Amino acid sequence: MPPLIAPALALLAAVAASPAPACPPHLFVIGRSLNANVVVYDARLSASGELDPAAPVDVYWLMSAGRGQREALNTIERDRAYGFDVRPSKTPGTYRMVFRASFGRSLVVRLRDGCAEVTTRIDGERAILHRIFIQSRTTLFVPTVDFIEFFGHDLETGAPLYEKFRP
């Protein structure tokens, strides 16, 4: 065997034997300009490993500005700001998710290669969503959203995608 082929075969064998990359820990998160706390959206799976048809998405606060503890959304946050409606979509095993606050788009929750993900359009392209950032301010106790940023990557090419949306 030529001297360069043996190391190449050993490298291929090592790559083939390495475990598959782990699924991301969250579907996506929402960060805000007000503090370091984030709203986390996780997939909820059934015992069989499929998205739970009764409640495929779980949402909660991760209090990064505090001790990093998990907290439930309050009623106003759940009903108006960060809550969502989710329904089965036409494709079996997928769910359409729409925010109660107007973020300007709907999302699709699905499993791909054993990992849960959320797809949407970012800058006009089909994308996997990773993060949303909300730039806001509070005047006279009324929050005002200046803009919303969407971060993800292209569903086909894997290229990073970004969009700044002004409601």
pLDDT tens for each residue of 91-104: 999 999 999 887 77
pLDDT band at 20 (very low <50, low <70, confident <90, very high): low
Contact of 167 with 148, CB cutoff 8 Å? yes
Is residue 12 scored above 80 in pLDDT? no
Percent of the chain with pLDDT over 90: 69
pLDDT at 96: 97
In angstroms, rounded to a whole number, what is the distance separating the alpha carbons of residues 150 and 118?
12
| Measured CA angle at 52 (ends 114, 109), to 5 deg | 60
Q: Closest by alpha carbon to 70, among 41, 101, 98?
A: 41
**More confident: 118 or 138:** 118
Is the whole model's pTM more than 0.85, yes or no? no
pLDDT of residue 154: 98
Residue with tokens 């106003």: 76
When pLDDT is averaged across residues 120-130 and rounded to a whole number, the result is 97
The tokens describing 10, both together, are 């050993």
Instruction: Output the pLDDT for position 90.
Output: 94
